[in-house]
Structure 1
Amino acid sequence: MTDSMFLAHRPGKPAQAVTGDADIAGAPWLDLVDPTPAEQALAARLTAQRIPTREDLEEIESSSRLFMEDDAVYLSTPLVRRMQDDFFISPVGFVLKRNRLLTVRFTAFSAFDVVAKQIAGRTDALSGDEVSVLLMEAVVDRLADILEHLGQALDTLSREVFQSDQPRRAVQADRTLRSLLQRVGRSGDLASSVRDSLLGMERIAIFVSENKKHDLSERLRGRLATVARDIGSLNDFVSQTSNKVQFLLDATLGFISIEQNNGMKILTVVSFIGVAPTLVAGIYGMNFHDIPELNWRYGYWYSLALMAATIVLPLLWFWHRGWLNRGR
């Protein structure tokens, strides 16, 4: 659970909690982290801007994510946060004015921490526009890192799916394939989440760079163009990753089908072996007086041996054909 915070970031100084007007003086970036209603009301009073709620930021239509209100640009996008083996999506909002940027988020993002350290380590003045570009660059870099780790995870999965190990027992194979299927599915979900984040960042970059009511300097336009190119290359990587996820999913399902077929082979062997001795027992269990072996001294043992032979001989034949795997 993220602690609620209302922070002001200034060049050359660490982040400071905002409690009044004096705390935002000279701060190009104000950051609301999982804000309480009181912190939202304070931010609205200090900035004279409407503060978007979480419900506002979770709207999916473009007109609700990218728009102008008075002289402020309102932007929002879903961002993926990855934590070790888990991840989730959380919305992020930007209220951009030329001299100040206000961000609204509901969880910690490492990209925001990186930019906070960069601003604290600088001594030159910053505008809200430049802070927004810094955040876009950091977010795209973070998404690239997530995709890099995802690519490595898929390479590992690929080796595990296609490894040529010794045959495993059925229970072990079932457990292994189930785990692989879950991991492939999670990788596909992560790739889809990253694609959504990239799409949101791409829309923000285009909207900000082409907004005539909020002109950027040529230098910042150039940096935004670089961000847009990076997003384009990452989108290509996501498409390639999605194709690989689909390939691994199909392969895993194929191996599951093979395991099911192997199970059906075993059932076929068992049912076939049970038919012949049942037939022998049925024949010699008939109540006909003229059965040739009825008065034979060895008839009982003969029938038992015949039933045993009808079990052993098919087993040997199936074993020779490879239907009975030694590893099972």
Structure 2
Amino acid sequence: MPSLPAQGRDKSAGPRIRIPTARAVVDCGVYVDGIRLPGKYTHQAALAEVRRRGRGFVWVGLLAPDEGQMESVAETFGLHELMVEDAVHAHQRPKLERYDDILFLVLRTVNYVPHDSVATASEIVETGEIMAFVGADYVVTVRHGDHSGLANVRRSLEENQERLALGPYAVLHAVADHVVDTYLEVTQAIEHDVDGMEEAVFSPRNTVAVEHIYLLKREIVELRKSVNPLSNPLLRLTQSPGNPVPKEVRRYFRDVLDHHTTVAERIAEYDEVLSSLVDAALAKIAVQQNTDMRKISAWVAIAAVPTMIAGIYGMNFDNMPELHWQYGYHLVVAFIVSVTVGLFVTFRRNNWL
């Protein structure tokens, strides 16, 4: 948490307590020739061990560090202050930046929120962030969001010593591959929501609130903002000129880029489908409103007949035709019934009722 300026602090609150960096460290490992060394290390001790040996690298995983914790890590690994600011405050677009010999990659993570129906859901996709700082002998990953855990990625890499022996960029690839695979899973889950919404809209006797389609479209827009900007960083990681990523690892990044392209195409397809569903739902509403107006107009026309006749004979004049007929009442009632029945049959035959 950034410190408050002096004029904004409560003097009675006393000095701000510094939270140890270890609180933000989820895991810290030293890897030599693809094998994790036994024992627990602080980030300072881990880097010192690697540089003492002259080979291997350090992988430090952090979860939502505050400014003080991140500054401690930055001092140890020589990270630029702008990188520290991005890592603490998060809410960054996917991007790839290079500071001297350090690569800084920002990835947006997504997670599908289970729900019974789009009509009852308030959120379908939640987002988080993973930031990776990669140097010659270390990789630091910073996570924001409860769903963005990398424990399985670390475990899988530790079981593949040949891949892990490729160094810190192999970890960067594994993290990016994990994030993009999550994109695939989320888009597959959303596909069921889109298909269900499409079926509901085009069902003849089913009414779908346009707000539900807008909710799903809003989540697709959020997903697109998280996914699509990553294409350029992945493309840069696969290119050769001036790229510090080893050739063996660049080949793996090409596969990640292919998967990312698949995800981007799916999102574009869902967006187009939902746009057409909005148009179809609005057209369906317009047709329903037109049908309702015809029914209302028909009933008004039927009700106008007895109303008009009753209104005429409700005028208190003495000299009105047929006013004193013996069977006048019965004739008027019969006339009203015959006209209203005739109108009802006519409207029913023309599908107005």
Q: Could you tell me whether the CA contact under 8 Å between 1:9 and 1:30 is conserved in 2?
A: yes
Over the residues paired in the alignment, what is the CA RMSD in angstroms?
A: 3.1
Q: 1:284 aligns with which of 275, 296, 313?
A: 313
Match of 2:203 among 157, 160, 163: 163
Residue 240 (str. 1) matches residue 269 (str. 2)? yes
Change beyond 3 A, Cα 1:121–1:83:
farther
SS in 2 for 1:109: coil
CA gap of 1:211–1:38, structure 2 versus 1, over 3 A, is: farther
1:219 is matched with: 248
* Residue-by-residue CA offset, 1:37-67 (whole Å, 9 max, x unaligned): 443233223323242346764355x8xx432
Residue 88 of structure 1 corresponds to: 126
Distance 2:88 2:79 in 1: 17
Aligned residues: 307
Q: Deviation at 1:158? A: 2.1
Name structure 2 gaps, 5 residues minimum.
Answer: 1-22, 51-56, 116-123
For residues 214 and 16 of structure 1, the distance between their equivalents in structure 2, rounded to whole angstroms, comes to: 34
Within-5 A mapping of 1:1-328 = 5-10=24-29, 21-22=44-45, 28-50=58-80, 51-53=84-86, 57-59=90-92, 65-85=95-115, 86-109=124-147, 112-123=150-161, 125-126=164-165, 127-164=167-204, 167=205, 176-178=207-209, 181-210=210-239, 212-324=241-353
In the TM superposition, what whole-angstrom CA distance separates every residue of 1:210-265 from its partner, at most 9, and x where no partner exists?
47555221111111122222222332222222222222222222222222222212
AA of the residue aligned to 1:58: H
Distance 2:261 2:43 in 1: 42
CA distance in 2, matches of 1:258, 1:296: 49
Q: Is the 8 A contact 1:9 1:120 kept in 2?
A: no
TM-score normalised over the length of structure 2: 0.74
Secondary structure of 1:151's partner? Answer: helix
Q: Secondary structure at the match of 1:88?
A: strand
Contact 2:128 2:148 in 1 (8 A): no
Q: Cα gap change, 1:138/1:15 in structure 2, threshold over 3 Å: closer, same or farther? A: farther
1:177 alignment partner, SS class: coil
Give, in whole Å, the separation in 2 of the partners of 1:313 and 1:244.
Answer: 46
- In structure 2, the CA distance between the partners of 1:9 and 1:229, relative to structure 1 (3 Å rule), is same
Q: Distance in 1 between matches of 2:39 and 2:292?
A: 65
- Taking a change above 3 Å as real, the CA distance of residues 9 and 267 of structure 1, as seen in their structure-2 partners, is farther
Which consecutive residues of structure 1, in runs of 5 or more, have no partner in the other structure?
168-172
Instruction: Work out whether residues 13 and 121 of structure 1, in 8 Å CA contact, stay in contact via their aligned partners in 2.
Output: no
Higher normalized contact order (CA 8 Å, seq sep 6+, divided by chain length): 1
Aligned to 2:12: none
Task: Tell which deviates more after alignment, 17-26 or 253-262.
Answer: 17-26
**Percent identical:** 19
Measured against aligned partners, the alpha-carbon deviations of 1:65-100 in whole angstroms (never above 9, x if no partner) come to 432223212222433322214222334322221322
C-alpha separation in 2, matches of 1:102 and 1:132: 10
Q: Which amino acid aligns with 1:144?
A: L
Contact 2:108 2:227 in 1 (8 A): no
Q: Give the alignment's TM-score, normalised by structure 1.
A: 0.80
